[in-house]
């Protein structure tokens, strides 16, 4: 499942063609290796907002080295600018004044994070200035190049202590395929964040449920959550029982073989988690299917009913399972619920009205529950773009190439990219991150 084009453009003849024809030249993205430093380099911190003074100390807690100035010729791995002090349109010039002199100091696969105040919590000219940060960061993300990423983190007043897990994720190789995103911290009032004894195993002692866990993105999610210390309970259909058991045995986890659309599936899952594990801390609704066809050709008589089957697996089942786990109080205090949406649910896609509706519904699930959940339970979602899997490998060559190149990274993502984003949501230190939908798409150029 390698990217053959990316391999070609790194050859001598490929480099010549890229230069002369103006072809995309995707950089090999740096991804996190277990045991490696979270950030392999120094982060330059700037700005005069309400987080500026505390940022170096916060980053130090996660083992991230930072500085407030760079010497001529010095390279840095990340740039963090606190823009919470910008109160008017005239103040936006501070962005240019900070970034322009130091952007060329950023190493390949560098990280840029701008911190702001949620515009909806500001008024007048300050609201205007803070909303402008979105256009700035998204545009910079599309021009920065060399495998680097740019993000905007809106931090509500009083939630400053809850920003560290988000900064640690966005500044690290774990966010390799995440760019141009807006993350809100503390926007839904859940702001009490526990101290982590071990940032390398934040899920130690936790139980995580992952649906569709036998292969692909689901398997990657299970592996990353296990790496972070969780006991993983994998769920998949009976047809995938052998693969599921193999993965779970390797991870020293548990498994449940069932169809999540079955009438009794929510009750069976809840019973299993209560009886064998005393509850669950992380719930990942990853299971999903596609049954593509243009709407005009999607007759109810289709084998398997393309519409109903997709909605049932991708949307109805996650909602019913979530409600059952909540009603029976199976999800523990401080737990997290994570849905897997899709770029298709945001931008739409030809021949995928059923799939796009289901994935937009997952975003609706996040919106519906974000303000309702008690006991500090959070709910968020990821929206993957073109992720290289066995399923996408079967897509026609031309369609696959377009899907991989039309983003700021000029390449497809990997299942690990989705898994790392989910692990950030699941981290107990992400308690203040609630109601977010983050796209894992290399910052698509069109539609989203």
Cβ pair 115, 153 in contact under 8 A: yes
Cβ pair 355, 314 in contact under 8 A: yes
Residue 252: CB partners within 8 Å, gap ≥ 6?
226, 231
**Ranges of each domain in the chain:** 31-185, 207-440
Cβ pair 203, 230 in contact under 8 A: yes
Is 54 exposed, middle or buried (CB count within 10 Å of its CB: 0-12, 13-18, 19+)?
middle
290-311 burial, b at 16+ Cβ within 10 Å, e below that, comes to bbebeeeebeeeeeebbbebbb
Euclidean distance between CA atoms 153 and 432, whole angstroms = 12
Instruction: Identify the residue whose tokens are 């959940």.
Output: 373
Taking the domain 207-440, which CATH number applies? 3.40.50.720
Euclidean distance between CA atoms 283 and 257, whole angstroms = 16
Euclidean distance between CA atoms 384 and 109, whole angstroms = 20
Kind of pairing between the strands at 437-440 and 76-82: unpaired
Give, in degrees to the nearest 5, the angle at Cα 418 between 448 and 287: 95
Tens digit of pLDDT at every position of the chain (448 positions): 567 777 777 788 877 787 787 777 889 999 999 999 999 999 999 999 999 999 999 999 999 999 999 998 899 999 999 999 999 999 999 999 999 999 999 999 999 999 999 999 999 999 999 999 999 999 999 999 999 999 999 999 999 999 999 999 999 999 999 999 999 999 887 667 888 878 899 999 999 999 999 999 999 999 999 999 999 999 999 999 999 999 999 999 999 999 999 999 999 999 999 999 999 999 999 999 999 889 999 887 665 688 999 999 999 999 999 999 999 999 999 999 999 999 999 999 888 999 999 999 999 999 999 988 877 899 999 999 999 987 776 667 777 777 788 899 999 999 999 999 999 999 999 999 999 999 999 999 866 5
Do the domains at 31-185 and 207-440 have one common CATH topology? yes
Return the H-helix or E-strand segment holding 232: strand 231-236
Instruction: Identify the residue whose tokens are 């009886």.
Output: 275
Residue 16: CB partners within 8 Å, gap ≥ 6?
none
Quickly list DSSP for 287-339.
--------GGG--TTSTT-HHHHHHIIIIIHHHHHHHHHHHTT-EEEEEEEEE
- Sheet with 181-185, strands from edge to edge, namely 65-67, 42-47, 76-82, 106-116, 149-155, 181-185
Of the residues 5, 154, 355, 425, only one is catalytic, namely 355
In the DSSP assignment, the letter for residue 51 is: T
At the second CATH level, the architecture of 31-185 is 3-Layer(aba) Sandwich (3.40)
Euclidean distance between CA atoms 108 and 146, whole angstroms = 5
Catalytic status, residue 5: no
């Amino acid at each position: 499942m390698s990217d053959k084009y990316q391999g070609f453009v790194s050859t001598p003849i490929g480099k010549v063609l890229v230069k002369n024809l103006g072809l995309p030249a995707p950089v090999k993205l740096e991804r996190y290796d277990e045991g490696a430093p979270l950030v392999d380099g120094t982060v330059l911190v700037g700005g005069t907002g309400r987080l500026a003074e505390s940022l170096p100390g916060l980053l130090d807690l996660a083992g991230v080295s930072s500085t407030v100035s760079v010497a001529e010729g010095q390279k840095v791995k990340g740039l963090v600018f606190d823009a919470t002090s910008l109160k008017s349109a005239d103040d936006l010039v501070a962005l240019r004044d900070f970034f322009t002199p130091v952007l060329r100091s950023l190493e390949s696969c560098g990280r840029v994070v701008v911190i702001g105040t949620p515009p909806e919590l500001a008024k007048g000219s300050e609201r205007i200035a803070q909303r402008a940060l979105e256009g700035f960061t998204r545009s910079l993300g599309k021009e920065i190049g060399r495998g680097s990423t740019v993000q905007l983190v809106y931090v509500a007043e009083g939630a400053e202590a809850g920003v560290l897990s988000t900064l640690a994720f966005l500044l690290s190789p774990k966010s390799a395929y995440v760019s141009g995103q807006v993350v809100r911290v503390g926007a839904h009032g859940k702001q009490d964040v526990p101290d982590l004894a071990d940032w390398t195993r934040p899920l130690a002692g936790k139980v995580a449920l992952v649906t569709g866990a036998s292969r692909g993105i689901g398997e990657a999610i299970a592996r990353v959550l296990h790496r972070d210390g969780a006991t993983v309970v994998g769920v998949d259909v009976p047809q995938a029982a052998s693969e599921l058991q193999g993965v779970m045995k390797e991870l020293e986890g548990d498994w449940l073989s069932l169809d999540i659309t079955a009438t009794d599936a929510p009750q069976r899952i809840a019973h299993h988690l209560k009886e064998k594990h005393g509850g669950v801390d992380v719930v990942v609704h990853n299971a999903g299917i596609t049954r593509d066809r243009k709407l005009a050709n999607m007759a109810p008589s289709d084998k398997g009913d393309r519409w109903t089957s997709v909605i049932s697996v991708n949307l109805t089942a996650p909602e019913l399972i979530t409600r059952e786990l909540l009603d029976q109080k199976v999800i523990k205090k401080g737990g997290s619920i994570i849905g897997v949406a899709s770029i298709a649910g945001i931008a739409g896609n030809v021949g995928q009205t059923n799939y796009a509706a289901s994935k937009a519904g997952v975003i609706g699930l996040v919106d519906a529950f974000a303000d309702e959940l008690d006991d500090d339970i959070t709910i968020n979602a990821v929206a993957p773009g073109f992720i290289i899997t066995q399923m996408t490998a079967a897509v026609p060559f031309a369609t696959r190439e377009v899907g991989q190149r039309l983003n700021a990274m000029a390449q497809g993502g990997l299942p690990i990219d989705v898994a790392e984003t989910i692990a950030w949501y699941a981290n107990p230190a992400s308690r203040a991150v609630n109601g977010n939908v983050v796209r894992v798409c290399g910052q698509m150029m069109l539609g989203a």
